[in-house]
Amino acid sequence: MKQFLIATVIAGLSLTGIQIEAQVYLDARQPVEKRVKDLMKRMTLEEKVAQMSQYVGIEHMKKAEKEMTVEEMRKSHATGFYPNLHSSELEELTKKGMVGSFLHVVTWKEANYLQSLALQSRLKIPVLVGIDAIHGNGLYNGATIYPTPIGQASTFDEALVEKASRETALEMRAAGMHWTFTPNVEVARDARWGRVGETFGEDPYLVGRMGAATVRGFQSNDFTGSDKVIACAKHFIAGSQPINGINGAPADISDRTLWEVFMPPFKACNDAGVFTFMMAHNELNGVPCHSSSYLMTDVLRKQWKFDGFVVSDWMDVERLHDYHRVAPTLDQAYRMSVANGLDMHMHGPGFAESIADAVRTRKISIKRIDEAVSKILEAKFKLGLFENPFIEGEKVDQRIFTPEHQKTALDMARKSIVLLKNEGDLLPLDKSKKQRIFVTGPNADNQTILGDWVFVQPDDRTTTIIEGLRQVAPENEFVFYPFGRNLRKMQPSQVQEAVQQSKGCDVAVVVVGENSMRYHWADKTCGENSDRYDLSLVGLQQQLVEDIHATGIPVIVVLVNGRPLSTEWIAETIPALIEAWEPGSLGGQAVAEIIFGDVNPEAKLPITIPRHSGQIQTYYNYKFTSKWFKYATGNSKPLFEFGYGLSYSRFKIGAPRLSSGELNPGGTLQASVEVTNVGQVAGSEVVQLYIRDLYSSVTRPVKELKAYRKVHLQPGETQTIRFDLSEKELKFYDEAMNYVAEPGEFELMIGNSSRDADLKKVKFQLL
Confidence at 80, pLDDT banded by 50, 70, 90: low
Largest distance between two CA atoms of the chain = 87
Q: How far apart are CA 674 and CA 166, in angstroms?
A: 34
Query: Where, residue-wise, is CATH 3.40.50.1700 in the chain?
Result: 402-627
Q: Which residues are catalytic?
A: 313
pLDDT of 15 strictly over 90: no
The string of pLDDT tens digits covering residues 642-700 is 999 999 999 999 999 999 999 999 999 999 999 999 999 999 999 999 999 999 999 99
Asked if 742 and 693 touch (Cβ cutoff 8 Å), the reply is yes
Write the class of the CATH domain 402-627. alpha beta
Q: How far apart are CA 309 and CA 277, in angstroms?
A: 7
Q: How far apart are CA 117 and CA 389, in angstroms?
A: 11
Confidence at 82, pLDDT banded by 50, 70, 90: confident
Beta-carbon contacts of residue 611 (< 8 Å; ≥ 6 apart):
566, 568, 634, 635, 637, 638, 639
The string of pLDDT tens digits covering residues 285-338 is 999 999 999 999 999 999 999 999 999 999 999 999 999 999 999 999 999 999
pLDDT of 353 strictly over 90: yes
pLDDT of 342 strictly over 50: yes
Give all strands (DSSP E) within 315-441, no chain letters.
Answer: 345-346, 418-422, 436-440
Cis ω for the linkage preceding 183 (within 30 of 0)? yes
At residue 352, the pLDDT reads 96
The string of pLDDT tens digits covering residues 584-603 is 999 999 999 999 999 999 99
Query: Where, residue-wise, is CATH 2.60.40.10 in the chain?
Result: 651-766
Instruction: Give residue 133's Cα distance to chain centre.
Output: 9
- Give the CATH architecture of domain 651-766: Sandwich (2.60)
Q: Which pTM does this prediction carry?
A: 0.94
Local structure of residue 450 (DSSP, 8 states): G
The string of pLDDT tens digits covering residues 159-181 is 999 999 999 999 999 999 999 99
Q: Which residue has the higher pLDDT, 65 or 378?
A: 378
Q: How far apart are CA 390 and CA 175, in angstroms?
A: 10
The string of pLDDT tens digits covering residues 185-236 is 999 999 999 999 999 999 999 999 999 999 999 999 899 999 999 999 999 9
Helices (H), 437-583: 465-472, 492-502, 541-550, 568-573
Mean pLDDT over 347-364 rounds to: 95
Mean pLDDT over 705-722 rounds to: 98
Percent of the chain with pLDDT over 90: 89
Q: How far apart are CA 417 and CA 50, in angstroms?
A: 45
